[in-house]
Chain A
Amino acid sequence: MDLLYTLVFTVFPYLCLTTFVVGHGYRYVTDRFGWNARSSEFLEKKALLPGSVLFHWGIVFTFLGHAGGLLIPQRVFDFFGIDSQTHLTIAYWSGLAVGLAAFVGVLLLLRRRLTHPRVQAVNRLNDTITIGALVVVVGAGIFNVIFGHFNVLVTVAPWIRGIVTFTPDAMLMETVPLSYKIHVIAAWTLLGFSPFSRLVHIWSLPLTYFFRSHILFRRRVPTPWAPRSIR
């Protein structure tokens, strides 16, 4: 049993993290031309609006919620006067709102992807897998919010922090209900798969746009190190 837990909750996460890091580097070096959002708004705009907006904003805030709630230890919250019960209540209601938005959004996007002939025309198996994985991850997550009522602050949260700080303790996951386990395993899988999917566009968040000048000039300079690869 211990071995199983170690494999699933220590080895597997590190495998996924390694694939995540190395995979992004590999993809960026070998496939810069394929690195983009693969937007299909140009082909179908109407059904995209509710799905894309709900999903993206929902998932952005869900991510921020996860990062804040799981990576920051409870004692930091205690210091600011937020005890674990309050923390869980805040997490429940905010998670419900943004998680539902993301879930409804991703379902709308899935329906659009499967039914709209023009979106189908540009769809790849990779895109279907990506959106399917998102449905599972977000679906399990929202299921946990609504039906779970499990205190993750003393189990899942320290386990995640253990992985991030390279002091993993798989047995922290022992008492965690199955639906939570499905959620985290699916999430790690998606993380490991993401460098090979369209999800790489997350890393292209155009932050520099907010600071750069409007008009860009580039000068053709002969560079001995040849910045673009010749294949």
Chain B
Amino acid sequence: MKIKAQYAMVLNLDKCIGCHTCSIPCKNVWTNREGAEYMWFNNVECKPGIGYPKRWENQEVYRGGWEMRRGGLRLKAGGRLHKGLNIFHNPDLPTIDDYYEPWNYDYARLIESPQRKHQPSVRPHSRLTGEPIKLKWGPNWEDDLAGLGETGAGDANFKNLEIATYLQFRNVFMFWLPRLCEHCLNPACVASCPSGALYKRDEDGIVLVDQERCRGWRYCVSGCPYKKVYFNWKTGRAEKCIFCYPRIEAGLTTLCAHSCVGRIRYVGVLLYDADRIAETAAVASDQAVYPAHLEILLDPNDPDVERRAAAQGIAPNMLAAAKRSPTYALIKAWRLALPLHPEFRTLPMVWYVPPLSPVSSQVEPSRELDTIDHMRIPMTYLANLLTAGDEAPVRTALKRLSAVRQYMRTQRVEKGSDTEVLDAVGLDEETVGKMYRLLALARLEDRFVLPTKPVQDNDNYARQGCCGFGQAV
């Protein structure tokens, strides 16, 4: 057993209001540069929709991630030889139009325009060429289901569902999906990089691009099934979410998580068995990946795990944080959070609590828990998104979320304790109390449990302002 520690994030979609506040500090701090205008290390997508970049979930388009082929786990886009032969033109690379052409407005026209009969207007012009452009697509173009009639059919999560039904106004449903780099245990971007510039940090699992080693071969961009590695068109290099590692090392949470007004994000340490990653990613069926992934996440309170972890050099404060990890509770102990598209087989480490939604008016079920299957958001859609189509784990998570609400209502409103509803979903009162604290109260110190890194070099002050993505100016 080779124990490694990894930061994981859980996003509670049940509480996401789609305000995009998470994207803004991320943008301001990390991608507010030429060549990176179009990059959103963190973006919020409105589901259903084809997302950013367009149709990223459809791996027949960009061929990212892994698949089982010829009895083994292989990169879907092709192996080393295929990459070597296609290095002069990567057939699977998205272009900037698949994201959007960045633009700006010529605001000076508003104040410099001479007096005319009509008010001056600002027109968008491309940040690439400087030419005026007609806006046909942009970030969050699909906000609030805009254009769903046209794009909805391209949403891969409608698999096994009658799309036309859900595009009718009376059946329409909507929720938000904030997305960032998954910092996978089996990252396809790292495996795709010919230069070996992408790597996983041994101490905490954060996946980074070595900017001085990246040669711009572009395979990470197409290799990542989540399309969360971006190509800086100015520098010719790949960039991606860095999990705010300068903040993380100081014991602060990521900018997206910290700024979240809905307090939907949780960041904590998970321990996993690195020896079993290969077999976990290579289980036979797509639906078996999620249970196998859960299997290699280790219980930090197990004395055996604790002893081995310490012996293998996991820092004591990392171990202490793992014990209080909110992500471990949500992912493994309570089974509330689920991975995003486990069928890509990268073993992602940003997980999602599925959203409850209003009960469809056509049915009048007898018991409240039975309403789970009649919510506006179809179970199949959530299952396609989070569990490779297996509805059972989604149902369990939603029933537990619903049970917490019912139980708390009996406590607060009816001044009783309806434990029957808890027995039905396999919870006890103590656990529900903890869930309530973590999900509903969601206090800062419970949501983010991050150990500080020991200071290893003392030249940080000298480096201030001269290290980062851009060249030193």
A residues with CB within 8 A of B: 32-45, 48-49, 52-53, 55-57, 117-118, 120-122, 201, 204, 206, 208-210, 212, 214-220, 222, 226, 228, 230-231
Q: Is the CB of B203 within 8 A of A219?
A: yes
Give complex CA distance A26, B55 in Å: 44
Q: Is the CB of B195 within 8 A of A216?
A: no
Neighbouring A residues of B96 by C-beta, 8 Å: 42-43, 118
Given contacts A43-B233, A53-B88, A120-B129, A38 and B200 within 8 Å (CB-CB): no
Neighbouring A residues of B217 by C-beta, 8 Å: 37, 39, 206
Q: Is the CB of A210 within 8 A of B202?
A: no
Q: Is the CB of A222 within 8 A of B456?
A: yes
Given contacts A43-B95, A206-B217, A49 and B199 within 8 Å (CB-CB): no
Partner of A52, one of B89, B211, B236, B456: B89
- Shortest distance from the beta carbon of B463 to any chain A beta carbon, whole Å: 6
Neighbouring A residues of B216 by C-beta, 8 Å: 36-39, 201
Neighbouring B residues of A228 by C-beta, 8 Å: 212
Given contacts A42-B233, A220-B456, A32 and B212 within 8 Å (CB-CB): yes
Given contacts A33-B212, A39-B218, A216 and B198 within 8 Å (CB-CB): yes
Q: Is the CB of A41 within 8 A of B215?
A: no
Given contacts A38-B236, A41-B218, A57-B88, A209 and B199 within 8 Å (CB-CB): no
Q: Is the CB of A218 within 8 A of B215?
A: no
* Interface of chain B, main secondary structure: loop
CB nearest to B236 among chain A residues: A38
Q: Is the CB of A217 within 8 A of B201?
A: yes
Give complex CA distance A172, B4 in Å: 65
Which of B81, B88, B96, B457 has the most C-beta atoms of chain A within 10 angstroms of its own C-beta? B88
Neighbouring B residues of A55 by C-beta, 8 Å: 88
Give complex CA distance A94, B376 in Å: 66
Q: Give me 13 A-to-B residue pairs in the complex whose CB atoms sit less than 8 angstroms apart, sorted by A's number.
A: A32-B212, A33-B212, A34-B471, A36-B215, A37-B217, A39-B217, A41-B93, A52-B88, A122-B233, A201-B216, A206-B195, A230-B459, A230-B466
Q: Is the CB of B233 within 8 A of A40?
A: yes
* Interface of chain A, main secondary structure: loop
Chain B 420-473 residues near chain A, CB threshold 8 A? 456-457, 459, 462-463, 466-467, 471-472
Task: Answer yes or no: B237 CB below 8 A from chain A CBs.
Answer: yes
Neighbouring B residues of A40 by C-beta, 8 Å: 233
Neighbouring B residues of A222 by C-beta, 8 Å: 456-457
Q: Is the CB of B218 within 8 A of A42?
A: yes
Given contacts A43-B95, A121-B129, A36 and B214 within 8 Å (CB-CB): yes
Partner of B200, one of A36, A49, A53, A217: A217
Q: Is the CB of A209 within 8 A of B80?
A: yes
Given contacts A206-B215, A217-B201, A217-B202, A37 and B195 within 8 Å (CB-CB): no
Task: Answer yes or no: B90 CB below 8 A from chain A CBs.
Answer: yes
Chain B 214-249 residues near chain A, CB threshold 8 A? 214-218, 221, 231, 233-237
Q: Is the CB of A117 within 8 A of B215?
A: no
Number of interface residues of B (CB under 8 A): 54
Chain B 106-149 residues near chain A, CB threshold 8 A? 128-131
User: Which of B162-170, B185-193, B284-292, B382-390 sits within the interface?
Assistant: B185-193
Q: Is the CB of A218 within 8 A of B194?
A: no
- Shortest distance from the beta carbon of B313 to any chain A beta carbon, whole Å: 10
Task: Answer yes or no: B374 CB below 8 A from chain A CBs.
Answer: no
Q: Is the CB of B199 within 8 A of A218?
A: yes
Neighbouring B residues of A35 by C-beta, 8 Å: 212, 215
3 closest A-B pairs by CB: A206-B194, A214-B191, A219-B202
Partner of B190, one of A32, A41, A120, A216: A216
Known interface pairs A33-B471, A209-B84; 10 further A-B residue pairs with C-beta atoms within 8 A, sorted by A's residue number: A34-B471, A36-B237, A38-B216, A41-B93, A42-B93, A45-B95, A201-B215, A209-B80, A210-B81, A219-B201
- Shortest distance from the beta carbon of B259 to any chain A beta carbon, whole Å: 27
Give complex CA distance A204, B214 in Å: 10
Given contacts A52-B89, A231-B466, A121 and B212 within 8 Å (CB-CB): no
Task: Answer yes or no: B83 CB below 8 A from chain A CBs.
Answer: yes
Neighbouring B residues of A201 by C-beta, 8 Å: 215-216
Neighbouring B residues of A57 by C-beta, 8 Å: 88
Given contacts A32-B212, A37-B217, A217 and B463 within 8 Å (CB-CB): no
Q: Is the CB of B200 within 8 A of A216?
A: yes
Neighbouring A residues of B195 by C-beta, 8 Å: 204, 206, 209
- Shortest distance from the beta carbon of B222 to any chain A beta carbon, whole Å: 10
Neighbouring A residues of B211 by C-beta, 8 Å: 33
Task: Answer yes or no: B251 CB below 8 A from chain A CBs.
Answer: no
Neighbouring A residues of B462 by C-beta, 8 Å: 230
- Shortest distance from the beta carbon of A210 to any chain B beta carbon, whole Å: 5
Give complex CA distance A45, B218 in Å: 12
Neighbouring A residues of B236 by C-beta, 8 Å: 36-39
